[in-house]
Copies of this chain bind each other. A is one copy, B any other.
Amino acid sequence: MEQRTDRSQEELLEEREAHLVEALEREDAEEIHRLYEHIHPIDLAEAMEEWEEELLERFCSLNDDEKMAELLEAADEKLQVDLTGYLDNSRMLRIFGYMQKDDIVDILGNLRINRRKQLIDLMRAGERRIITELLGYDEETAGGLMTTDYIALNGQLTIGNAIRKIKEIGPKTELIETIFVLNHQKQLVGTADLRDILIGNDADTLDSISDDQVIWVEPETDQEEVSLLVSKYDLNAIPVVNKRRVLLGIITVDDIIDVILEEHTEDMLQMAGVSKEETIDSTVPESVRRRLPWLCVNLITAFLGSFAIKNFEDVIAQVVALSATMTIVTGLSGNSGNQTLSVIIRSLALGELELKGSWKLILKQAAVGLVDGVCMGIGTGIIVSLIYQNFYLGCIIFGAMVCNMMIAGLSGALIPLVLKALNQDPALASSIFLTGVTDVLGFFIFLSLATAFLPFLL
């Protein structure tokens, strides 16, 4: 009985892990098995990321196949590759016998192509066919996420027979609460809830208690779309069917949670121009390499802003106060636009927004920018008028802020929608593009107004 949020329980876990390392060092197989029962595979996998090669090798040789299967499922990509290095092909196949098909495919996908080919060739024909097929799907589609370990029964089966089948197949499947109901052509025609089966009349058919309102996807469906359907309809699994509605596999909710976490990380990082592969564990050269491309794009937008200012150098030379005040216009517009940007990107990610008919929305965001611009512009105008003792400078900055914050609202909505229309991730460096637009136009508008009303400023 463990509670991960309890400090003392965490210490207990660390203690057990330390004991396990000691037991491994003196090769005490019995003690290892005893300790293993009290450590969750996920926690063990996390601890093992820090272990030396020698310890990992010893662990692999002292542990049984079922435990190794649990651990490989829980391990991250790097640890999976490390562990498989200590397991020969025949042992790997025995371990696969304890694993779900989607997990086997994940592990095979991380292996070098030679090793993968060897293992697949050694599989039984039926399994080889399924695994090869699953490996063929793009990792980020429904096909790449699905498993073939589910319960599908013919709708004409009686409930009594169905229960017998479920007891037989159940232990090998990922999900037992939902039974998929097929017709004689193996097409998916409905789902049956295990509750209804358990309390049903033995002589009735499955069809009589099944629900024909099934939400399904095709193997090519993008994982983000799959996750939206699962969260919208509160599903615990979603079936994957081909064009003829033949059931190919199912995707369970735990894999969907991983997709949701992955997609959201992606959105937030990409908005700022960071690759989704970067984490806090990335090394300095790795981080630099991943971030530089977007900083180079940013360099171009920064120079565009600089050129906008350069055109007005003689005006600035005459009224040097412009130099200190112009950055207020661009700074506020940039952040105001980012507010709109984040609302739109979230909405796109939640599937609430379509390009079609979004003009109203874009205009609404421009209106929000306009009103925010009027509010902030009045404040800024008054303060600037007082500091520089120049009423006209206050008016000019007010005008520039109203225009530019409206543009910021417009761009904050347009940039992600345009990226989406170009089939790019709507978050892709959108913040860098946005500040590019608000800087260039902000400087240009403010300094143009100042030039037009120059006599009043001198």
Contacts and interface: CB of A to CB of B under 8 A. Distances in A.
A163 B163 CA distance: 13
A394 to B, nearest CB: 13
Complex copy number for this chain = 2
A176 B189 contact: no
Contacts of A12: none
A221 B38 contact: no
Contacts of A432: 335
A282 B119 CA distance: 55
A353 B281 CA distance: 10
A248 to B, nearest CB: 14
Among A229, A320, A439, max chain B CB count under 10 A is at: A320
A295 B380 CA distance: 12
Contacts of A316: 316, 320, 323
A291 B368 contact: yes
Given A313-B323, A316-B323, A335-B435, A342 B176 contact: no
Nearest to A288: B371
Chain A binding site: helix, strand, loop or mixed by DSSP? helix
A233 B268 contact: no
A371 B284 contact: yes
Interface string A321-358: 10111011011101110110111111100101100000
A203 interface: no
A32 interface: no
Contacts of A132: none
Nearest to A196: B171
Nearest to A324: B309
Nearest to A443: B327
Contact of A176 (B1, B195, B253, B336): B195
Interface string A117-144: 0000000000000000000000000000
A431 B167 CA distance: 55
A342 B173 CA distance: 38
A279 B323 contact: no
Interface stretch (A53-61, A80-88, A91-99, A209-217): A209-217
Given A177-B177, A328-B306, A198 B170 contact: yes
Interface string A197-225: 01100000000000011111110010001
A260 to B, nearest CB: 6
B298 A325 contact: no
A40 interface: yes
Interface of A: 1-5, 37-38, 40, 42, 163, 166-167, 170-171, 173, 175-177, 188-190, 194-196, 198-199, 212-218, 221, 225, 229-236, 245, 253-254, 256-258, 260-261, 264-265, 267-269, 271-274, 278-280, 284-285, 287-288, 291-292, 294-296, 298-299, 301-303, 305-307, 309-310, 313-314, 316-317, 320-321, 323-325, 327-328, 330-332, 334-336, 338-339, 341-347, 350, 352-353, 361, 364, 367-368, 371-372, 375-376, 379-380, 383, 431-432, 435, 439, 443
